[in-house]
Amino acid sequence: MSVLAISEQVFEVGASHPDRKLFDCLMPTPHGTTYNSYLIFGSEKTALIDAVDPEKTEVLLNNLEEAGVKRLDYLINLHTEQDHAGSAEAVRCKYPEVEFITNAKVKELMHTHLHIPEDKMTVVTENDTIELGGKTLSFIMIPFAHWPDNYMVHLKEDNILFSSDLFGSHYATSKAFSTSSAEQRLAAKNYFAEIMLPYRSHVAKHVKRVRELAPKMIAPSHGPVWYDPDIILRRYERWTGDGVKNLVAIPYVSMHDSTKVMVERLTVKLSEQGLSVVCRNLGAEPDSLSLETGHFITDLVDAAAVVMATPTVIG
């Protein structure tokens, strides 16, 4: 991923990682991922929203050079995980004048884990603004989407919402825009299931606020930009709602196929009652256990019931 314009004087300068197959040692990423970093030129000041994973530091620094950044006034860290903030110190070394913009929790974590000096960070709170010159940034706190430190930035003049991990997808493409293909929509659902589902009640409140804000564009920290935000907003509203499908999810492990036979018989009986059933053999391929587990977690978004089946070991 090189420098890509997403709006007037707004650029994607992050990094693509198409061959990353596992995220956080847990989440399968068959389409890789991206570490999105957004550069905004105002008439007076320049801001960078998020850094990238340390492994892709040189890509970010090269993209900043390609974009013609001589001076960087602000680095706005929306979240402190390494894939968003791990190269922050390298950015500071290249642009020593940079001021880190954080919320209170991000400041704490940036100092504790990444050793950014406290006097280099300025804390913002809900609805605070920063003027870049013809570009106004407003800040919106979204705790537990999915960490307690997450927050968003709204670029008022362009009506772009930089949403941190919210509305993201592990989906590496050569372009920053959303094609809204079936493959990408599934990647967004997988991402929601793995990362946002445990915090569904928090996320539902944040989605409502975004709907009220009515952004023209949503630029997440992973995956393509949503040029039609309604596509992902409608899905998040459904996924965070109380509605479920007539679906039973059955994850199972079977050592000698006895449990598998039981699952197959149960599947027949449930199907005869008009229920849809999806079975996940978690032990089918021991080298890719995380892949089937990831599929099962995605099933949880829609399932009305879950039946777990395992063999008995040692009594």
Which pLDDT tens digit goes with each residue over 155-169?
999 999 999 999 999
What span, in angstroms and rounded, lies between the C-alpha atoms of 273 and 260?
A: 20
What span, in angstroms and rounded, lies between the C-alpha atoms of 149 and 142?
A: 8
pLDDT at 178 over 60: no
**Neighbouring residues of 250: CB distance < 8 A, sequence distance ≥ 6:** 263, 266, 267, 277, 278, 279, 280, 306, 307, 308, 309
Sorted by where each begins, the domain ranges of the chain are: 4-239, 247-306
pLDDT at 26 over 90: no
Q: Work out the pLDDT band at 177, boundaries 50, 70, 90.
A: low
Q: What's the pTM value of the predicted model, to 2 decimals?
A: 0.92
Q: What is the pLDDT of residues 28-86, one digit of tens each?
A: 888 899 999 999 999 999 999 999 999 999 999 999 999 999 999 999 999 999 999 99
pLDDT at 176 over 70: no
Q: Work out the pLDDT band at 287, boundaries 50, 70, 90.
A: low
Query: Which pair of structure tokens corresponds to residue 66?
Result: 């390609």
Instruction: Name the amino acid, one letter, at 273.
Output: Q
Whether the CB-CB separation of 178 and 226 falls below 8 Å is answered with: yes
| 46 burial via Cβ count (<10 Å: 0-12, 13-18, 19+) | buried
Q: Work out the pLDDT band at 175, boundaries 50, 70, 90.
A: low
pLDDT above 90 covers what percent of the chain? 83
Instruction: Name the amino acid, one letter, at 49.
Output: I
Q: What mean pLDDT comes out for the span 171-193?
A: 80
* Homologous superfamily of the 4-239 domain (CATH): Ribonuclease Z/Hydroxyacylglutathione hydrolase-like (3.60.15.10)
